[in-house]
Amino acid sequence: MAGNPEFGQRIRDLREAKKVVDPTFSLRQFAQRVGISATFLSKIETGEFDPPRAEHIITMATLLEVDADELLALADKTDPELGDIIKSEPKAMADLLRTARDRGLTVEDLERTIRYMKKQS
Amino acid sequence: MAGNPEFGQRIRDLREAKKVVDPTFSLRQFAQRVGISATFLSKIETGEFDPPRAEHIITMATLLEVDADELLALADKTDPELGDIIKSEPKAMADLLRTARDRGLTVEDLERTIRYMKKQS
DNA sequence: GTCCACGTTTAATAAATAGTCAACATTGAC
DNA sequence: GTCAATGTTGACTATTTATTAAACGTGGAC
pLDDT in tens, B37-69: 999 999 999 999 999 999 999 999 999 999 999
User: How high does pLDDT run on average in chain B?
Assistant: 96
- Taking residue A110's Cβ as centre, other Cβ atoms within 10 Å add up to 19
| pLDDT per residue as tens digits for the range A23-41 | 999 999 999 999 999 999 9
Which residues numbered 18-37 in chain B sit less than 7 A from strand D, measured from CB?
A: 19, 23, 26-29
pLDDT tens, residue by residue, A49-107: 999 999 999 999 999 999 999 999 999 999 999 999 999 999 999 999 999 999 999 99
B96 at the A interface (CB within 8 A)?
yes
Residue A1: what pLDDT? 57
Query: How many folded domains does chain B comprise?
Result: 2
Q: Are residues B75 and B94 in the same domain?
A: no
Alpha helices in chain B (DSSP H): 5-21, 27-34, 38-45, 54-64, 68-74, 80-88, 90-102, 107-120
Note whether A50 and A98 are same-domain residues: no
pLDDT-above-90 percentage for chain B: 96
User: Could you say which DSSP state residue B103 is in?
Assistant: T
- Judge if B37 and B73 occupy the same domain: yes
Give the percent of chain B with pLDDT over 70: 99
Residues B16 and B56 in one domain: yes
Do B21 and B72 fall into the same domain?
yes
Residue from B10, B86, B109, B111 whose CB has the most chain A CBs within 10 Å, to mutate: B86
Q: Give the DSSP letter string of A37-90.
A: -HHHHHHHHTTSS----HHHHHHHHHHHTS-HHHHHHHTT---HHHHHHHHHSH
| Percent of chain A residues past pLDDT 70, beyond the cut | 99
- Predicted local confidence at residue A121, as pLDDT: 73
Would the pLDDT of B73 be above 90?
yes
Q: Which domain holds residue A98?
A: 89-120
